[in-house]
Amino acid sequence: MGFEINCFVSPSLVNEDLICNICGGVLEDGLWSPECEHSFCKVCIHKWLQRSTVCPNDRQYLNLTLLKPIPRFMRNILDKLEMKCKFIGNGCLQVIPLESLRQHIPVCDFNPDKQIDCVSGCGLTLKKRELESHNCVKALRQRVDTLVEENMKYERSVTSVRFELNSLRNENKKTNELVNSLQNDVKRLLADRQMSVSTDSNASAVPQSSLGVKSEKNSRMVPNPYVLITPLQSS
């Protein structure tokens, strides 16, 4: 929502281009459409586009992606506009440039929500509106109760975290044991395989001396094809 025009020192000097086309107030966090050149408060146009897809002025198509921050020259004009403090009804007569309004509100002495320290010396910080009904003893007891409750929540949280940590440690231990077991199985399988390969190699290897003996025996048994057999003569 925009700023009410009557909150400005000179409402008649506010250019109509600085007026939101939805709420009729002076632009707050202004956005504009480069297509149709209409300007809106950020909150106003966001709410409008939740239920419509056209500009509220000329009915042209419009969505959030088409909107841009208002041009710098418009922001500069807005920032220099002089405003009455929103707590003028409480007694604040200060005149503030719009660009300084957000800094002034929290520290304004007439702001009922201004944070102040207890004047009785209990050390608590409270809103100015609460000062008249403030009771130091009661407030401190409430503060202690709040701190005790927060501490109990913290302790429960710590206990829960410790339980989770122990669970993770147990899971990690089991995982490491499984990994070690698998590694031992792999080593055992590799050793068995190596032994099997060595046994097969020894079985297939024949000593050279044995081969020589067998060769010699075989050569004796084979007849010489060039030896003629003399036929037996009859008597």
* pLDDT tens-digit map of 172-188: 999 999 999 999 989 88
C-alpha span between 162 and 122 (Å, rounded): 37
* pLDDT tens-digit map of 131-164: 888 888 888 888 888 999 999 999 999 999 999 9
Q: What is the pLDDT of residue 234?
A: 45
Say whether pLDDT at 123 is over 70: yes
Read off the pLDDT of each residue in 204-228 and give the average, rounded to a whole number: 52
Sign of the four-CA dihedral 183, 186, 190, 195: positive
Q: What is the pLDDT of residue 227?
A: 47
Residue of higher predicted confidence among 113 and 232:
113
**What's 40's DSSP letter?**
E
Q: What is the pLDDT of residue 20?
A: 93
Domains for the chain: give ranges and CATH numbers: 5-81 (3.30.40.10), 113-167 (no CATH)
Report the relative pairing of strands 82-84 and 95-97 from DSSP bridges.
Answer: antiparallel
Angle at 52 between CA 46 and CA 58, to 5 degrees: 95
Name the 3-class secondary structure at 49. helix
Strand (E) or helix (H) holding 193: helix 136-204
Distance of CA 97 to the CA centre of its chain: 38
Mean pLDDT, all residues of the chain: 84
Report yes or no: 134 and 119 within 8 Å, Cβ to Cβ. no
Say whether pLDDT at 97 is over 70: yes
C-alpha span between 143 and 146 (Å, rounded): 5
Q: What is the pTM of this model?
A: 0.54
Read off the pLDDT of each residue in 44-64 and give the average, rounded to a whole number: 91
Q: Any idea which of 31-45, 62-76, 82-96, 221-235 has the lowest mean pLDDT?
A: 221-235
Q: Any idea which of 103-107, 137-141, 169-173 has the lowest mean pLDDT?
A: 137-141
C-alpha span between 132 and 102 (Å, rounded): 26
Read off the pLDDT of each residue in 34-60 and give the average, rounded to a whole number: 92
